[in-house]
Structure 1
Amino acid sequence: MNKSITIISAGLSQPSSTRLLADRLGEATARALGDAHVDATITVVELRDLAHEITNTLLTGFAAGDLATAVETVRSADAVIAVTPIFSSSYSGLFKSFFDILEPRTLAGKPVLIAATGGTARHSLALEYAVRPLFAYLQSVVAPTSVFAASEDWGSTGGTHGELAVRITRAAGELAELIEGRPTAPAVDEPVIPFAQQLARLAVSR
């Protein structure tokens, strides 16, 4: 059995601590699946490389080229690992813009692990009051444990030991369990009811 995992990394610099955390989470999830005799294929979507195309799509409503490929990779994945840097106590604009261009229900029912990086641990709560609600709105199945990595978490070991490593292992294990126990449901298009029609129904009900 093979499961596909798409990593979405919204780091802006190269090298990026956001990408480093994303890679650690991907590796840990693959190990957890491997322990259950499940193979994992991991694909990384670097939003930094797609920034101009994302902006164009917001203006035109049409994704093309590499961005269209990235969107399809997310749509067809069995699970997603989404990692953003924290700016002004929330996810980055690039991170949010990518999810804004996805079709409705692209992530509905899909297991998602959320994570973030920031300069100080004071920003860690942004995962719970900003990032988690975003994916709840998108109807994803979000792993209970989120992972935040501050600058001091990396240290000289690169985050391979200590509390950060423990959180990565726990979150990856939770995502692996979601992947094993919840087959990805195909996206279902919901009919869009025109606003005028909704108002007419409301008037009748009164």
Structure 2
Amino acid sequence: MKLIAVSAGLSSPSSTRLLADRLVESVGGELGAHGHTVPAEVIELRELARDIASHLVTGFPPPQLAAAVDAVKEADGLIAVTPVFTASYSGLFKSFFDLIDPDAFTGKPVLVAATGGTARHSLVLEHALRPLFAYLRAAIVPTAVYAASEDWGSGGDEYTDGLPSRIRRAGGELAALMAARPARAEPEDDVTALERQLADLRFD
């Protein structure tokens, strides 16, 4: 299995990248506790911004962007984290996912998350991020994670779980979906495929 996180934060360091890292740690820890060793990678879209714009105009992805797109396609689990801009996901975030074949997300376990200055933007998870990945037919975990500035270091209150609790719960849900997916068959190389065709001919 392989875990990929996509962070659309624009600054360095950014709270968006920090949230992505915390979620990766949560998923990896949960899978590790059940005997799964899962390599993980965080893709920083800020480093690919020029390549994304170029691809949208020319239709040809530069090598670094092509590698990032392939990593998302091949991932067994995806964490997608964006800052909130004008009550929705960022343009950079949407532009990146517009470049990927929608069929690549069918049944793929996805955890959505966002960061913003205040808690009043938290509904972006339900009115923007979840519908986007539902349209792509992804398997979205029930718990989405929003982190406002005041959430960092917060333990929550009697009505609301703190950010660490939400991260643990969402990470556990994504880990469970990833572990439940059937193993993917390795593609045959050309020689193996030819041998199989010859064997079929001999039995005709």
Bin of the TM-score, shorter chain as denominator length: 0.7 to 0.9
Shift of 1:107: 1.2
The correspondence for 1:15, drawn from 13, 16, 25, is 13
Matching residue of 1:145:
143
Name the count of aligned residue pairs: 180
Partner deviation per Cα, 1:94-122 (whole Å, 9 max, x = no partner): 00000001123111111000000000000
Matching residue of 1:126:
124
Separation in 1 of the partners of 2:94 and 2:23? 20
Residue identity (%) = 58
Matching residue of 1:166:
165
Q: For structure 1, which runs of at least 5 residues remain unmatched after alignment?
A: 187-206
Separation in 1 of the partners of 2:146 and 2:87? 13
Is the 2:154–2:163 contact (alpha carbons within 8 Å) kept by the matching residues of 1? no
Shift of 1:72: 0.6
SS at match of 1:86: strand
The correspondence for 2:54, drawn from 36, 53, 56, is 56
Separation in 1 of the partners of 2:102 and 2:176? 25
Separation in 2 of the partners of 1:17 and 1:81? 15
Which runs of structure 1 show a deviation greater than 2 angstroms over 4 or more consecutive aligned residues? 183-186
TM-score of the pair, normalised by structure 2 = 0.85
What RMSD, in angstroms, separates the aligned Cα atoms of the two structures?
1.6
Instruction: Tell which structure's C-alpha radius of gyration is larger.
Output: 2
SS at match of 1:19: helix
Look up the equivalent residue of 2:97 and give its one-letter code: F
Matches within 5 A, 1:16-165: 16-155=14-153, 163-165=162-164
SS at match of 1:40: coil
Matching residue of 2:197:
none
